[in-house]
Amino acid sequence: MRISFIFAVLLLVLPVAYSVEYVIGDAKEPVEKGDPDAVYVGAEKCKMCHKDKYDDWKTSGHPYKLLTPEEAKAIRPDIPLPEGYTWDDIQYVIGGWGWKSRYIGKDGFIITKTKDGQPLEKNQYNWQDGSWSSYHSGENKTYNCQRCHNTGAAYEEGTHQDGLEGIEGTWEFRGVQCEACHGPGSKHVEQGGGRGVAIVVDKSAELCGKCHVRGDNMSAIPSKGGFIRHHEQYQELKNGGMSALDCTTCHDPHKAVHEGATNPEGHPGIIKKCEDCHAEESEEFIGSIMQKDGVTCTDCHMPKVTKSAINVSDYEGDVNTHIFRIDTRADAKMFTTDGKSANGYLTLEYTCLKCHLDKDKTWAAKYASEIHSFGKAVEIKTPATTAAPATTPAPTAKGGICGPTAVLLAALLPLGIMYWLRRRG
Ligand code: HEC
Ligand code: HEC
Ligand code: HEC
Ligand code: HEC
Ligand code: HEC
Ligand code: HEC
Ligand code: HEC
Ligand code: HEC
């Protein structure tokens, strides 16, 4: 009964949701459309034939967006609860794989109040430093976030997932599953799979930009309190220095990048490095003071100017930005005057001063435009095997042969040669 009802609703809603989903930004049509009659079957069905992709995906953050208490404790055994609450009060945990956890009560509302209805300040747990923040404290906050967090989201008026009043609309599967990117896959599975068989393959930035985006102004980079707001990598990329690239140029969409609960180390999901395309800058950088001290391209070009849960200083949040371009002027402004949008380049306080805490922007500006090769020893620039150019001998070089000594030697040389020739003859 219930299943067929959901299917009926889906059939009505899906085609609409589908065409709307792709009109963000410079919309491109997906390379291939999935089958319009297909329905969602869930990642477990795909695992059968795509175990490698499934295993990669399981280590990434995408599957873990909305968790039951058991699932949340499985990836984060030490997860705490807001004061006064026990696990019996919790329906779902939102997030917590990477940055922060929020909690949904048994009525489907996001927990913002104490159990007796008073505003609760500490309702968001931050994993990086174990602190708590206030998220819409005291408000009635419904969960309507599924279009970016879950798979097969629908917002039919008056529908509530699991019949819970605090959840607006429904979904098919929790988390960003295979079909959130590849479209509903039932027809692909029925036909035994295969390339070009009833499944979407979309490599464009717009695919990721369905969710890694904020608001509907694609030429703004929304900001607040001196930081770029999180989940807007699409706007950062499109308004920054490398707008021509797609996310999948650098990312394997199935693999993790962030160091989260199921990915304790490294960046397995980065398939193209800066060096692969910027040989000249990489060459310049090798041998500089900072390169020798372990500073990397991303330390300067992808600093954490974006904030999800916390900031660790005035200039460092907790998400790497995708703007890349650096403005080296001492008076360049990172944000618009109202502070609501970033300007599309990185300024030096965010690029340099997070490491050089005791310095200021004027200091940084003195070095910034030469920074790739800063501190490289001069000899490194002249290949050791080539003779020094004959034109300009250094006039002050200590121990060099120059001035009067040179004149004397020049005069003595022919005499010496004549002497040697006479001895041989
Ligand atoms: C975040 C979006 C996203 C998710 C989630 C996702 N994929 Fe993909 N997948 C893509 C994109 C984009 C491509 C094309 C990548 C490319 O070729 O650069 C792709 C490619 C593929 C391919 C083709 C690979 C090839 O060799 O051409 C398969 C198979 C696949 N995905 C299966 C899966 C399965 C199974 C899951 C779930 C376990 C999954 N994907 C989850 C975005 C996603
Ligand atoms: C019965 C086995 C089977 C199942 C189940 C299956 N697939 Fe496939 N799929 C295949 C085969 C075989 C290919 C072709 C792979 C190749 O040529 O390397 C394929 C190809 C793909 C591709 C690449 C398509 C293209 O045009 O390049 C994607 C994406 C994909 N599958 C996603 C999924 C998703 C998502 C699911 C779950 C909803 C799924 N598959 C379930 C067998 C299956
Ligand atoms: C437009 C898509 C979108 C919407 C709408 C959205 N989110 Fe998210 N959210 C994301 C993305 C993408 C990320 C991860 C990337 C990032 O933070 O930059 C994320 C991350 C999170 C995280 C941190 C996850 C972790 O692993 O620590 C939480 C918690 C969260 N969102 C809560 C919410 C809540 C609650 C709502 C609804 C009130 C919501 N989000 C609405 C896209 C969205
Ligand atoms: C349906 C919405 C959705 C789509 C489409 C989507 N993402 Fe995500 N992405 C999310 C959410 C939500 C999170 C936060 C997951 C978490 O923290 O548990 C996230 C997290 C991430 C992360 C950080 C976590 C990790 O595993 O390292 C990366 C990287 C990422 N996405 C890349 C991509 C790329 C690349 C694409 C396009 C191929 C894409 N995403 C498409 C919703 C989406
Ligand atoms: C696939 C190739 C490719 C990769 C990988 C790549 N870049 Fe680029 N980059 C480009 C291209 C092409 C441009 C020229 C700008 C454009 O048209 O998008 C560019 C431009 C830039 C610029 C100049 C922006 C400006 O307007 O001043 C910076 C800075 C930059 N890249 C840094 C990086 C860093 C750092 C990485 C590694 C995280 C990286 N790039 C990885 C291709 C790449
Ligand atoms: C210590 C900080 C720092 C590091 C590390 C760094 N860069 Fe840069 N990079 C800068 C600054 C500052 C500029 C802007 C220079 C200017 O505009 O004069 C820049 C400019 C660039 C540009 C644009 C050049 C142009 O002509 O417009 C590219 C591309 C680039 N860097 C790539 C890289 C790559 C690749 C790496 C790693 C091998 C790297 N950078 C490491 C600070 C850094
Ligand atoms: C030029 C290469 C490049 C492109 C293009 C690119 N990324 Fe990334 N992305 C990276 C690198 C490198 C990192 C890891 C940075 C680090 O941790 O130092 C990263 C990290 C991330 C993260 C995790 C942030 C964090 O703080 O851990 C998310 C989410 C993400 N990328 C999403 C996207 C999305 C969505 C797009 C397209 C709109 C995109 N990326 C385009 C190179 C790229
Ligand atoms: C990830 C941290 C980090 C970032 C980001 C960074 N630096 Fe450095 N920097 C270092 C380290 C480490 C050294 C070596 C310190 C030493 O040996 O005394 C260094 C050394 C220097 C020096 C020479 C030593 C001195 O104090 O005079 C200068 C100048 C410098 N950095 C400028 C910059 C500028 C300009 C930027 C931004 C474009 C920048 N740095 C970004 C870590 C960083």
Q: Is residue 288 part of a domain?
A: yes
Residue (of 263, 227, 221) closest to 243 by Cα position: 221
Q: Give the residue, by CA position, lying nearest to ligand 6 atom 5.
A: 297
Tokens describing residue 61: 């953050």
What's the pLDDT tens digit per position in 302-328? 999 999 999 999 999 999 999 999 999
Q: Is residue 44 part of a domain?
A: no
Question: For position 414, what pLDDT does the model report?
Answer: 52
Q: Which amino acid is at 144?
A: N
What's the pLDDT tens digit per position in 179-238? 999 999 999 999 999 999 999 999 999 999 999 999 999 999 999 999 999 999 999 999
Q: Is residue 50 part of a domain?
A: no
Pocket of ligand 4 (CB under 6 A): 60-62, 64-65, 95, 97-98, 148-149, 176, 180-181, 207-208, 210-212, 247-248, 251, 253, 256-258, 260, 269
Decide which of 289 and 30 is more confident: 289
Q: Give the residue, by CA position, lying nearest to ligand 2 atom 1.
A: 192
Q: Is residue 53 part of a domain?
A: no
Decide which of 148 and 19 is more confident: 148
Q: Which ligand is nearest to the CA of 292?
A: 8
Pocket of ligand 7 (CB under 6 A): 205, 208-209, 212, 233-234, 237, 242, 245, 247, 249-251, 257-258, 267, 270, 298, 302, 319-320, 322
What's the pLDDT tens digit per position in 330-344? 999 999 999 999 999
For residue 163, pLDDT beyond 70? yes
For residue 399, pLDDT beyond 60? no
Pocket of ligand 5 (CB under 6 A): 241-245, 249-250, 272, 274, 276-278, 297-298, 301-302, 324-325
Round to whole Å and give the CA distance between 26 and 375. Answer: 43
The number of folded domains in the chain is: 1
Question: For position 265, what pLDDT does the model report?
Answer: 82
Round to whole Å and give the CA distance between 130 and 125. Answer: 7
Q: Is residue 217 part of a domain?
A: yes
Q: Which ligand is nearest to the CA of 272?
A: 5
pTM of the model: 0.90
User: Domain limits at 299?
Assistant: 203-385
Q: Is residue 69 part of a domain?
A: no
Question: For position 101, what pLDDT does the model report?
Answer: 98
Share of the chain above pLDDT 90, in %: 79
User: In a 3-state reduction of DSSP, which class is residue 414?
Assistant: helix
pLDDT band at 266 (very low <50, low <70, confident <90, very high): confident
Across 113-140, average pLDDT: 98
Q: Is residue 307 part of a domain?
A: yes
Q: Is residue 52 part of a domain?
A: no
Pocket test for ligand 5, best of 238, 246, 299, 324 (most atoms within 8 A of CB): 324
Helices and strands (H, E) in the chain, number of each type: 18, 8
Spacing, Cα 238 to ligand 5 middle (Å): 12
Question: For position 34, what pLDDT does the model report?
Answer: 77
Q: Which atom of ligand 2 is nearest to the CA of 179?
A: 35
What's the pLDDT tens digit per position in 68-85? 999 999 999 999 999 999
Q: Which ligand is nearest to the CA of 57?
A: 1
Round to whole Å and give the CA distance between 151 and 161. Answer: 13
Residue 363 Cβ inside 6 Å of ligand 8? The answer reads no
Residue (of 150, 183, 170) closest to 40 by Cα position: 183
The helix (H) or strand (E) run that includes residue 103 is: strand 100-105
